Amino acid sequence: MSKEAQKLIANNKKAYHDYFIEEKFECGIVLHGTEVKSLRMGKCSIKEAYIRIENGEVYAYGMNISPYEMGNIFNKDPLRPKKLLLHRDEINRLNGAVTKEGYTIVPLQVYFSQGRAKIEIALAKGKKLYDKRADIAKKDMRREHEREFKVKNLY
């Protein structure tokens, strides 16, 4: 994933809090015209979204793309399942990990790369409550150290 010519539309920070991210994949999204226009305006949410593999195809459920204001009759249902485009071997690897090893697939971010709408998904394992608490404690410690460092450098 190169950083050039990318425009971030939606980000799922909660996924990093709730899951251990193992492996990331970049996929294309099958969209209709008014959905693309709505995405260009930044009207997308993936907070409640999840990914499923059905009949050898990957779908994103709960990904909310708000209706385009000037789309009237051409607007699609904002919560309809969106098909994701991946290579066959990637789909097989994801499917094997989900069924055998207890992983889950979560969306991380939606962005435009070279004019095409992409979604970054990840193979992830759920965190336990004590893992989440440990992460919060680490973050607090880091923040405290940065604050102390900043105060020391002022004098």
User: Is the per-residue pLDDT at 60 higher than 70?
Assistant: yes
Place of tokens 């999204």: 29
Contacts with 45 (C-beta within 8 Å, 6 or more apart), sequence order: 10, 63, 64
User: Is the per-residue pLDDT at 145 higher than 60?
Assistant: yes
CA–CA gap between residue 135 and residue 50 (Å, rounded): 23
User: What mean pLDDT is predicted for residues 81-106?
Assistant: 89
* Amino acid present at 97: A
pLDDT of residue 4: 59
User: Is the per-residue pLDDT at 26 higher than 90?
Assistant: yes
CA–CA gap between residue 101 and residue 113 (Å, rounded): 32
CA–CA gap between residue 29 and residue 139 (Å, rounded): 34
pTM, two decimal places:
0.76
Please, what are the domains in the chain? 7-126 (2.40.280.10)
pLDDT confidence bin for 7, thresholds 50/70/90:
confident
Contact between 151 and 114 (Cβ < 8 Å): no
114-140 pLDDT, tens per residue? Answer: 888 999 999 988 878 877 888 888 888
